[in-house]
Amino acid sequence: MKTLIRCAVAVAVSAVFVASTLAADLKVGLSVSLSGPNSSIGIPYSKGMQAALAYKGEVGGRKIQLIVLDDGSDPTAAGRNARKLVEEEKVDVLMGTSGAPSAVAIAQVGREAKTPMIGLTPLSFSAADNPWVVTVAQPTQLMVDAVIERMKRNGVKTVGYIGFSDVWGDLVYDAMMKAAPAAGIKVVSNERYARADASVTGQVLKIVALRPDAVMTGGAGTPGALPFLALAERGYKGGVYGQHGLINPDFVRVAGASAQGSLMPTGPVIVAEQLPADYPTKKIALDFRSAYQKVNNAPTSDAFSAYAFDGWLVFLDAAARALPKAEAGTPEFRVALRDAIFTSKDVVGTHGVYTFKPGNLYGVDERARVIVKLDNGQWKLAP
Amino acid sequence: MTWDVALILGIDGLANGAVYLLAGLGLVLIFSVTRVVFVPFGDIAAFAALTLAAFETGRVPPTIAMVGALAVVAVAVEVTSLSRRGEFARIPKAVLQWGALPAVPCLLAWLAARPGVPAAVQVAVSVLLVVPLAPLLARIVFQPIADASVLVLLIVSLALHFLLSGLGLLFFGPEGSRTQPLATGTLMLGEGFPVSGQIILMVASAIVLSGLFFLVFERTVVGKALRATAVNRVGARLVGIRPARTALLAYGCASLLAGLIGVLIAPVTTMYYDSGFIIGLKAFVAAIIGGLVSYPMTALGALAVGVVESFASFWSGALKDVIVFSLLIPVLMLRSFMSAHAEEDEEEVDQ
């Protein structure tokens, strides 16, 4: 009988203990595209997040629970996922996703439910209307500015532009038009092509005929390789510049030798090993590499998994400061967490050093970009 | 625009036109024999290209699984229909025809995926591997509804395209591929106009294949049977030609053409699982110029589409496809003025 009572007490005590730890667990809700056309971006996000969980799975003595849902590359499903995460799981923070439309859907739910969201992709909506959202990605302008600076340093006076005939092509073009006049660079063409096009010979001929000192391309992924191939075929001798949409192993595979020597901006994590020892993000980037290797049994070479890792780091930092103010899982905690995110200062991530302020979605500065050169299929830091 | 730019654009347009020509011939062939506008034609070309890309990266092409799965379904369909009619004696032959025959290229492809196989063999096997695709699809999907109206056939064919491009995404993934050029080296046309060997190969293949087409249709019994079915299905049956068999032959030829297109364009354009559709669509414009019956007019139309596309991309890259597809409007108007309009004939032909 005595043993029985002892057992019962032990069970009761442990139940209370388990219950109390469960109640205090922090919950992170991640909605990404694990299937569908955006899955080549969504899968690295999820793998990077798993690496981050293994890297540091607790904050202030509280365990963190990660809930991952697949949105199938569909903005409607992303919104539904966010609602499920907020209403059923009562998550403390939302994260996601590949593609701006899906990110908008999640942000809307976050705003209604007063749950902070850490975006992992560039967002293009008004910060004033979305006081619950930040993103760890670099703004396009920051990246394109770096390209224009490099062009100026290389003595480029005229530049031809060829990009996608969609939002991405417009974003890059607008960013370039903003930065180029100040650097004394003249943009001489604005050629466009569709992602599905088979050839850009016509557009490239037009650019080559204008004889610009350099060509800037506004494409992404494998379709972004077309201008490089066509320019090489026409024997164009000037420099060809890209932007961070092209930092992708499939682009390298398709462009092959034609993109040899081209310069483009990216987050420093891509070339972590080559960074100087005193670079602020070097150590954490290497830590990320080994955590990723340990969890996923494969090396990482993409930028996307690192964004997920950075999202996690921003969350850890903010949660550590918010925990003393309120109990996790409560609306008060979510408010405290948002306030903590917006007072983040110099949080070192793999892509950059994050300082978020109210009224700004982005939190990175010049340290979040480096120029890399494609050399025999490898990205080489080009300081 | 200067003369040299025009020349480069013209050559580029001819190379594109050569591809549309082959695709257009395939479309006209299938349409004239079976009244099906075979929309998945381009998908098959894309699969051939992606198969070759898989070989080059040392992977076993997923096309094998696709052909295998279709063959299993086709055998099931055939056996069911035979046993329903009580013709059990013909089942072994059907299994051999629908199961064993498509398995041959699959086996070859599996062998060719080993390292050290010469590139030429891999190219040939890539083409062979997609040849069973169209006949298998035709057996499963089109043969049971062979007598439906053109509109029904078109809609089924469109649905089939969406199914195939979905399968393509599943099997080949979302990223594009480009293969090694089949012909290296360049030819200098006059001064400073290098023409790449690949483009010459594309144009030459189009000329040779359309020549072969002409010979087969004019000089062989099989070709005449195809023509006879195209002209009058009932008449053809009366003289002992089986429409189902000629239809399969047409699908087989078209599939072969699609395979050739795939390996010809894979080195010059980045192929995605869904790139085939736009090729098929432009070939369709060419086929419409030929009224979906005339091979020479289709060939001319294809070259025109290629050249217009090339020049349009120079004048306005964003509006390129709009310009190409706008060609349809004057062509259709002209054709409807010129041709005596006959109502669609509702023939009743089974098997």
Q: What is the pLDDT of residues A69-98, one digit of tens each?
A: 998 888 899 999 999 999 999 999 999 887
Residue type at position A97 = T
| Model confidence at A254: pLDDT above 80 | yes
Domains A25-138+286-367 and A140-266 alike in fold: yes
A165 touches chain B (CB under 8 A): yes
| Model confidence at A382: pLDDT above 70 | yes
At residue B189, the pLDDT reads 67
d(CA B331, CA B300): 13
At residue B192, the pLDDT reads 63
| Model confidence at B342: pLDDT above 60 | no
Query: Taking residues A43-52, what's their average pLDDT?
Result: 91
Contacts of B174 in chain A (CB under 8 A): 37, 39-40
At residue A18, the pLDDT reads 47
| Model confidence at A12: pLDDT above 60 | no
Contacts of B163 (CB under 8 A, 6+ apart): none
Measured between CB atoms, which of A40, A201, A226 is closest to B270?
A: A226
Per residue in A312-339, pLDDT tens? 999 999 999 999 888 888 899 999 999 9
CATH superfamily for domain A25-138+286-367: Response regulator (3.40.50.2300)
> What ipTM was assigned to the predicted interfaces of this complex?
0.71
The residues spanned by each domain of chain B are 3-337
Alpha helices, H only, B178-267: 197-219, 221-231, 233-238, 243-265
> Confidence class of residue B229 from pLDDT cuts 50, 70 and 90?
confident
* CB contact (8 A) between residue B310 and residue A201: yes
Query: Taking residues A271-287, what's their average pLDDT?
Result: 91
| Per-residue tokens: B214 | 């002409």
Compare A126 and B38 and report the one with higher pLDDT: B38
| Model confidence at B309: pLDDT above 70 | yes
Measured between CB atoms, which of A165, A194, A205 is closest to B8?
A: A205
A256 touches chain B (CB under 8 A): yes
At residue B35, the pLDDT reads 86
CA R_g for chain A: 23
* CB contact (8 A) between residue B16 and residue A199: yes
- Chain A, nearest residue to B195 by Cα: A233
How many beta-carbon contacts under 8 Å exist across A and B? 86
The residues spanned by each domain of chain A are 25-138+286-367, 140-266
* CB contact (8 A) between residue A225 and residue B270: yes
At residue B156, the pLDDT reads 95
A3-16 per-residue burial string, b: 16 or more CB within 10 A, e: under 16: eeeeeeeeeeeeee
> Confidence class of residue A21 from pLDDT cuts 50, 70 and 90?
very low
Q: What are phi and psi of A352, to 5 degrees?
A: 180, -175
Contacts of B242 (CB under 8 A, 6+ apart): B351
Please spell the DSSP secondary structure of B269-282, one letter per residue.
Answer: S-B-TTTHHHHHHH
| Model confidence at B282: pLDDT above 80 | yes
| Model confidence at B348: pLDDT above 70 | no
Q: Are A227 and A165 in contact (CB under 8 A)?
A: no
At residue A16, the pLDDT reads 45
State the nearest Cα–Cα gap between B299 and chain A, in angstroms.
20
Contacts of A193 in chain B (CB under 8 A): 313, 317-318, 320
Q: How many residues does chain B have?
A: 351
At residue B23, the pLDDT reads 92
Query: Taking residues A175-201, what's their average pLDDT?
Result: 88
* CB contact (8 A) between residue B314 and residue A193: no
Mean pLDDT of chain B: 87
State the nearest Cα–Cα gap between A297 and chain B, in angstroms.
21
> Confidence class of residue A4 from pLDDT cuts 50, 70 and 90?
low
| Model confidence at B83: pLDDT above 60 | yes
> Confidence class of residue B345 from pLDDT cuts 50, 70 and 90?
low
User: In 3D, which of A289, A240, A264 has the Cα closest to residue A371?
Assistant: A264
Quick one: fold of B3-337? Answer: ABC transporter involved in vitamin B12 uptake, BtuC (1.10.3470)
At residue B181, the pLDDT reads 81
State the nearest Cα–Cα gap between A303 and chain B, in angstroms.
17
| Model confidence at A23: pLDDT above 60 | no
d(CA B291, CA B294): 6
| Model confidence at A301: pLDDT above 80 | no
| Model confidence at A20: pLDDT above 50 | no
* CB contact (8 A) between residue B275 and residue A198: yes
| Model confidence at B308: pLDDT above 60 | yes
Query: Taking residues B77-83, what's their average pLDDT?
Result: 91
The answer to whether the peptide bond before residue A343 is cis (omega within 30 degrees of 0) is: no
At residue A3, the pLDDT reads 55
CATH superfamily for domain A140-266: Response regulator (3.40.50.2300)
Compare B175 and B343 and report the one with higher pLDDT: B175
